[in-house]
Structure 1
Amino acid sequence: MSPRPFTVIENQWIVLTDGTRLAARIWMPDGADADPVPAVFEFLPYRKRDGTAMRDESTYPAFAEAGIAGVRVDIRGSGESDGVIDGEYTPRELADACELIAWIATQPWSNGSVGMMGISWGGFNALQVAALRPPALKAVISIASTTDRYNDDIHYKNGCHLSAQLSWAATMLAYQSRAPDPDVVGDRWRAMWMERLENEPFFLEDWLAHQRRDDFWKHGSINEDFSAVAVPALVIAGWADGYRNTPLLAVEGLGDDAKALIGPWIHKYPHFAWPKPRSDFLGEAIAWWNRWLRGDDTGQETTPQVRAYILDGVKPAPRRDVDPGFWIAKERWQPPLMQRLHLDPSGRLAVGEAATQRPVDEIFLRSPLDTGTASGEWFTLKPDAELAGDQRGDDAGSLTFETTPLLASLDLLGRPEIELTVSCDADLANLCARIVDIHPDGTAMRVCFGVLNLAHRQGNSAPRSMEHGQPTSIRLQLDACGYRFRPGHRLRLSLSTSYWPTVLPVPTDPGLTIDAASLRLLLPLLGEHRRIDVKQPDNPDPLPRYIEHVPPATARKVIRDLSENRTRYHVLEDTGLAEHPATGLSTRQLREEVWSISPGDPLSSEGLSIWTCDMQRPGWFVRTVSTARIRCTNKDWLISASVIAYEGDDKVFEKTFAETAIPRDHM
């Protein structure tokens, strides 16, 4: 079938029942008024005009050529839409999405069937909206998302406070402070901009007010009631991203109507992600939409429930363009058979019964507080130093146990677990566990990791302080992995009491006493499967080219100042200045972030994130500078923020979120 011609509607105003006007960009197949088409809807705060334009232009034209309309809408207070954003996945946002789906379904060009799609925010709200069951929503594709907003997002993880929470709060402060485009909204642009600047929230205030898994986090977590989602869901993620758990959790919770696809990728759409191999996401998505929005027989019901790329002896590198491995399929996902490893009499990890005697059963562990600088980013946008690096430096501050060199391949797919008895002389302590592939040359590749705030050992809703000095049994589930350990490699389990800057420290640094005799490592075996091929995209370079005025730049540095006894982790991400050739709008975002800590003082932890965002055309220039900080005492988190806006050379707005003390709640 030849590609269907289409028209791009650069801006379509959609007026909600409360009078709010939202801005949409629509890719419309020609002749849809006479021959109605299904539609795919994406709802984001990331600005259709500039923020997601490049990826939108790599995706929606292919849908339109297949006779599927694409409707990309800016959430309230973002891009060219009216109003002010009120948080993440709020009831108002989800209600707006349901109203927009109804609007799409009743348009004369629509066949009445709507799909919802997105990566990250758009993947989150696609699943959450599906749980609300708007009648016209027939299917979703969710990429790099979560079923549990508390434990599998950038805020908290098993009760540990993730540094990404500050990073993301700073990001959203920067995103929402940007002006709408005057070419779309006209002379209203400045009044709309001032309204946003005056009223946009500092998201971290809300997030830190909810340090337990309470109703705030249960809202939008579809694992509270998987049965609420009654439409087919294709759930996609990459092993190199922070959202790697969701596809397997989704098929476990949603059952037969859910399909999982897991590749080697970072936080990007699979048709332009790294590390390669990529997948033909556009072909997959079109077949998915044609089945569930049109009723065509495209074979979606017979697709294996889980397709996964098994990484095979990967090495960390400054940049990973291709990861070695192979694709497998499981027709139906079943909980994997777990292989149990114990410590043998020599202290090695081994299959079989636990040793009854060893030279040392109890080992005291207190990692330097800067252990973890090879952890990489929580969610990764480039296949470079954002990925976890060689683990040998972090292993130096960890307690490690490993196997002898393997005699045969060991293939894993699923979530490893450890069982362990520990004791602590304080109320709180963090524990991190990492599974590491030790290559014959000593290179140490992180396969997966998990963290636990021991006060959350029995759940995240009602944490309990540790009983001082009392042996306590814990179970820690690590993140999912798909990995082959090759013959001659060793599997290492690394335990540490710090994983900085990924995880912020608890108020004291008590260390843990580890009962080595109690250690059990449970590994999820790949089990029955078949090898498959996953089609790669026809176009190996699908992203459009914009006019580059200033090249992008990136840098990551760890500086250990021996005189000050302080470690600093520096991040620089500069998008460069790029101009959209069709709109003439040039944009640039610069992120500078610094985390610092003294390796023996948990109360010395500080984080600072600064975003500078520029928008310009000849004769028009606006800039916002957004700053967010976090530090701590033994009782409080101390947070502050500011936003400064410039029009040309003139400062036109300044707002400060004064430093606020938020009590630490078992963190």
Structure 2
Amino acid sequence: MRPSNALRLNFNHQETIMTIETLFNNPLPMHYKHVVTTSHYLTMHDGVKIAIDVLLPKNLPQDEKLPTLMVMARYWRSMQLRIPSPPNKAPIGPREPIADWLIARGFALVMVDIRGAGASHGVCKHPFAPDEIADFGEIATWITRQSWSNGNIGAFGISYEGSTALYLASTGVNAVKAVVPQEIEFDVYADVALPGGILNKAFIRAWSASNNRLDNNKPSDLFPPIARLLVRGVRPVDADKRSRAMLEQAIREHQANTDVYSAMTKITYKDDLFGNTGVTLEDFSVYRYSHAIQAGGSAIFSWGSWLDGASAEATLRILNTFNNPQIAVIGAWKHEMSADGNPYNPPKGEPNPHLKQQWEALGRFFWSHLVEDKPIHGKTIFYYTLGANTWTQADCFPPANSVHQVWYFGDNHTLSAQKPTSEHTRDTYAVRHDTTSGKTNRWMTQFARPVVYLNQADEDKKRLVYTSAPLDSDTHIIGYPIMTLYVASSHADSAFFVYLEDIDPTGYVRYITEGQLRGIHRHISDKPLPYVTGMPNHSYKRADSAPLPINQVVEIIIGLQPTSVMIKRGHRIRVALAGADADTFALIPDDATPIWQIMRDNIHPSHILLPILR
């Protein structure tokens, strides 16, 4: 890594110096003003009818060939409004109005309702099912045969739609040249459903309820209030607008979709089955398609946020696991990338880069690959540093010149580099079930909420905290903090939450990142993971499960979500421990209050490893 904010990346076999501005400082010109949309069904190999919208520039010359971008939607490709739709515009959908922007710059768009959702027929037994992914390939092949297609295809999207973009790259369709997955989950179990093996109850319940409403052609409760008033339902295809018979048939078939919340609440281990589907969460995690994605060779432009669930970790897994040519960007925004989530900035501000610049970067990436035939080569990452408000470019992450420093728990709830010398010293903590990281945290932004972490000082009064002395110099924490706890618990199972915080000279406590682990999952596996990560290798498998021996000391190693943060001189670092996050995660156990003995002596020195940039 270079100390300047630039590194070298090969474009079209030429070495180029790049900064974050390079991604969006050469915007595409507008070629068209208006949009024309047609909607119809495509029949898949098994007879299931999939609803699509084809969006083209109005008055497109007959001999004009366009690159095509696909969006494969779980939450409706487009909406039918109770008022007239704006003329000459793309149909409104549950996403920012990027379609109009892209079409004006010479792209065709194909918006797809996945099977079992929206106006499409079929059943969604589980997310990212093999038949669903096969549909993406069939639709891509159909696109290449259309008179307006130049034969090159990309895909993009946020969250579920971002994952489908990456799955499209696994289908083996040669026309798929570039994909942009944004804010996705790479490992369904660890990244969203059960982080640390603890049920992400609030999100799973809200997401399941939202899907159930959408699958019954009702606006989601997660839509803004004005949208719930104005939206009648999913947009029928053109031939079905009067009778709506095909849409009604689709809704009847959706009744066989699996209830996600019911299935998830029965899962404890990674090898547990998802409902009655016969598959596990591993089976519909994107890493199961790693070989096919790499074999396809599509260029990948992935985006994540240090403050959005595990999306930064997902972006790093893509970067460090796949050999595809890649650009990765990790910022500090909410899930939809439309507002800032940086805890050092005022809440809900403009994201950095702002939305228009994000679109310009996406458009330029696709134009290079689908029109100019100037693909990227190699890998590069742009990451934002909290506290410094700067962007850095590097060819790897974590950077090679970061080192782990050990910070030990000490007397009087201190945190320092001094290893304990005393024997049999410990702190007692009775778990409080009313501790919370709030209702606008990294896990709740995934259901259309902002990321806002207010002063954690009051909440830390309910937690067990260890705080450093004021720092002598600016300290850049970059990578994966790792917590090692030596703990004796009064109960055979417990949830452990670890928060890394920055205390400024006024006493304001800022959230930085967190990790969690259910006690029964503490085993470190010697079997290699199917992807590259800086997290401890917890398998979460049933065979590796073990209850906590009551009132006996065990070692528990907890990985925190990766970060890049500058802790300023005079600030203090704090580690806060809790046994619950009441507004987000299921209580473990739900019928008792564990008491912990946190050891901090020369035999059992509880500590955190902080990756520090030299």
TM over 0.5: yes
1:301 aligns with 2:377: yes
Higher helix share: 2
Please show how residues 54-453 of structure 1 align to structure 2 within 5 Å. Answer: 58-153=97-192, 155-163=193-201, 164-178=203-217, 179-181=233-235, 184=238, 185=240, 186-189=242-245, 191-192=248-249, 195-196=252-253, 198-214=255-271, 216-224=280-288, 226-230=290-294, 231-242=298-309, 243-255=311-323, 257-269=325-337, 275=349, 276-279=351-354, 280-297=357-374, 300-301=376-377, 305-312=380-387, 325-334=389-398, 336-343=402-409, 347-351=413-417, 353-357=418-422, 361-374=425-438, 376-377=440-441, 378-380=443-445, 387-453=452-518
- For residue 505 of structure 1, the aligned residue among 577, 587, 590 is 587
Partner amino acid for 1:73? V
Q: Deviations over 1:104-139 (max 9, x none)?
A: 122222222211211000112222332343333222
Please show how residues 2-81 of structure 1 align to structure 2 within 5 Å. Answer: 2-5=29-32, 7-29=35-57, 31=60, 34-50=63-79, 53=92, 58-81=97-120
Alpha-carbon offset, residue 454 of structure 1: 0.9
In structure 1, C-alpha distance between the alignment counterparts of 2:115 and 2:254, rounded to whole Å: 14
1:521 aligns with 2:598: no
Please show how residues 559-570 of structure 1 align to structure 2 within 5 Å. Answer: none
**Contact 2:477-2:566 at 8 Å conserved across structures:** yes
**Contact 1:16-1:96 at 8 Å conserved across structures:** yes
Structure 2 unpaired stretches of 5+: 1-27, 81-90, 218-232, 272-278, 342-347, 524-538
Alpha-carbon offset, residue 364 of structure 1: 2.0
Find the residue that maps to 1:122 and give its secondary structure. helix
**Contact 1:238-1:263 at 8 Å conserved across structures:** yes
| Stretch moving more, 225-234 or 373-382 | 373-382
1:460 aligns with 2:540: yes
Q: Deviations over 1:83-118 (max 9, x none)?
A: 443331122211211211221122222222211211
**Contact 1:14-1:24 at 8 Å conserved across structures:** yes
CA distance change for structure 1 residues 92 and 510 in 2, over 3 Å: closer, same or farther? same
Alpha-carbon offset, residue 386 of structure 1: 5.2
**Contact 2:124-2:254 at 8 Å conserved across structures:** no
Alpha-carbon offset, residue 369 of structure 1: 0.5
Partner amino acid for 1:397? K
Alpha-carbon offset, residue 43 of structure 1: 0.5
Q: Deviations over 1:455-498 (max 9, x none)?
A: 01122012222222332112100112221111221110001111
Q: Corresponding residue for 1:491?
A: 573
CA distance change for structure 1 residues 142 and 514 in 2, over 3 Å: closer, same or farther? same
Q: Corresponding residue for 1:638?
A: none
In structure 2, C-alpha distance between the alignment counterparts of 1:343 and 1:111, rounded to whole Å: 62
Structure 1 unpaired stretches of 5+: 313-323, 528-667
Partner amino acid for 1:49? S
Q: Deviations over 1:274-296 (max 9, x none)?
A: 54323412221122212322353
In structure 2, C-alpha distance between the alignment counterparts of 1:37 and 1:271, rounded to whole Å: 32
Report % sequence identity: 22
In structure 1, C-alpha distance between the alignment counterparts of 2:340 and 2:143, rounded to whole Å: 28
Task: Work out which structure has the larger RCO, using CA pairs closer than 8 Å and 6 or more positions apart in sequence.
Answer: 2
Alpha-carbon offset, residue 221 of structure 1: 2.2
CA distance change for structure 1 residues 165 and 239 in 2, over 3 Å: closer, same or farther? same
In structure 1, C-alpha distance between the alignment counterparts of 2:415 and 2:139, rounded to whole Å: 55
In structure 2, C-alpha distance between the alignment counterparts of 1:376 and 1:232, rounded to whole Å: 34
Q: Deviations over 1:202-248 (max 9, x none)?
A: 22232234331125111232335634322221110123311232112
**Contact 2:522-2:557 at 8 Å conserved across structures:** yes
Q: Deviations over 1:169-224 (max 9, x none)?
A: 11111221115446842213573375157444322232234331125111232335
Q: Corresponding residue for 2:529?
A: none
Find the residue that maps to 2:55 and give its secondary structure. strand
In structure 1, C-alpha distance between the alignment counterparts of 2:559 and 2:498, rounded to whole Å: 9
Partner amino acid for 1:160? I
CA distance change for structure 1 residues 383 and 169 in 2, over 3 Å: closer, same or farther? closer
Alpha-carbon offset, residue 385 of structure 1: 6.7
**Contact 1:449-1:478 at 8 Å conserved across structures:** yes
In structure 2, C-alpha distance between the alignment counterparts of 1:92 and 1:382, rounded to whole Å: 26
**Contact 1:239-1:264 at 8 Å conserved across structures:** yes
CA distance change for structure 1 residues 349 and 225 in 2, over 3 Å: closer, same or farther? farther
Partner amino acid for 2:243? D
In structure 1, C-alpha distance between the alignment counterparts of 2:447 and 2:200, rounded to whole Å: 20
Q: Deviations over 1:9-53 (max 9, x none)?
A: 142332223333322222224547523222111101212223992
Partner amino acid for 2:607? R
1:470 aligns with 2:552: yes
Q: Deviations over 1:571-605 (max 9, x none)?
A: xxxxxxxxxxxxxxxxxxxxxxxxxxxxxxxxxxx
- Aligned-pair Cα RMSD in Å: 2.8
Q: Corresponding residue for 1:320?
A: none
Q: Corresponding residue for 2:83?
A: none
Find the residue that maps to 2:312 and give its secondary structure. coil
Find the residue that maps to 1:97 and give its secondary structure. helix
Partner amino acid for 1:368? R
Find the residue that maps to 1:107 and give its secondary structure. coil
Partner amino acid for 2:552? Q
Q: Deviations over 1:523-542 (max 9, x none)?
A: 12345xxxxxxxxxxxxxxx
For normalisation by structure 1, the TM-score amounts to 0.71
**Contact 1:436-1:493 at 8 Å conserved across structures:** yes
In structure 2, C-alpha distance between the alignment counterparts of 1:522 and 1:152, rounded to whole Å: 22
In structure 2, C-alpha distance between the alignment counterparts of 1:115 and 1:385, rounded to whole Å: 29
Number of aligned positions between the proteins: 511
For normalisation by structure 2, the TM-score amounts to 0.77
CA distance change for structure 1 residues 81 and 194 in 2, over 3 Å: closer, same or farther? closer
Q: Corresponding residue for 1:612?
A: none
CA distance change for structure 1 residues 375 and 483 in 2, over 3 Å: closer, same or farther? farther
In structure 2, C-alpha distance between the alignment counterparts of 1:132 and 1:515, rounded to whole Å: 51
In structure 2, C-alpha distance between the alignment counterparts of 1:56 and 1:254, rounded to whole Å: 28
**Contact 1:176-1:196 at 8 Å conserved across structures:** no
